[in-house]
């Protein structure tokens, strides 16, 4: 489709369509402008954020981080009471803390409980059958 044809569908002058194309190329086009163009072309505008990693990997990483933070807090409290529960292992260490694998597995199964910021936000939307919504 030529810029003249698109301009006619949009009800604007051809230079406006050229401006739209330049705005899109320079990543400053607005969603409202794209919606108008989509409507003029009898299309639906789809705007999506796509995770860089598989969702399962993101959930596992967040569950591990949440588990490490909980265990760090518990370990500190127990140490203050002279009831140390195991060695403190720095984040990223090869050997997990005592109880960490079990807590990570638990949090992965129930992300709403321990990885709350992810629950219901898989990127697709609620009600589509994803185990994270």
Indicate the pTM of the whole model: 0.46
More confident residue, 123 or 8: 8
More confident residue, 93 or 10: 10
pLDDT, position 118:
46
pLDDT, position 71:
78
> Tens of pLDDT along 44-65?
999 888 889 988 888 888 888 8
Q: How far is CA 35 from CA 6, 10, 32, 92, 125, in A?
A: 14, 11, 5, 45, 21
> Tens of pLDDT along 94-120?
555 556 777 777 777 765 554 454 444
pLDDT, position 111:
53
Say yes or no to pLDDT of 129 above 60: no
Q: Quote the CA–CA distance of 71 and 53 in Å, as a whole number.
A: 26
Q: 59, 91 in Cβ contact below 8 A? A: no
**14-52 in b/e burial notation, b at 16+ Cβ within 10 A?**
eeebeebeeeeeeeebeeebbebbeeeeeeeeeeeeeee
Listed residue (92, 96, 98, 107) closest to 60, CA to CA: 107
List, as one string, the DSSP characters of 37-98.
HHHHTT---------SS-HHHHHHHHHHHHHHHHHHHHHHHHHHTT---S----TT-SSPPT
């Amino acid at each position: 489709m030529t810029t003249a044809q698109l301009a006619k569908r949009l009800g604007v002058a051809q230079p406006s369509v050229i401006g739209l194309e330049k705005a899109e190329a320079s990543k400053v086009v607005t969603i409202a402008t794209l919606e108008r163009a989509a409507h003029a072309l009898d299309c639906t505008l789809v705007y999506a954020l796509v995770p860089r990693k598989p969702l399962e990997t993101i959930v596992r990483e967040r569950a591990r981080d949440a588990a490490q933070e909980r265990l760090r807090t518990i370990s500190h409290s127990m140490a203050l009471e002279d009831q140390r529960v195991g060695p403190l292992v720095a984040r990223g260490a090869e050997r997990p803390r005592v109880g960490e694998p079990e807590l990570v597995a638990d949090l992965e199964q129930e992300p709403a409980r321990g990885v709350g910021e992810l629950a219901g936000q898989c990127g697709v939307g609620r009600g589509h059958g994803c185990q994270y919504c």
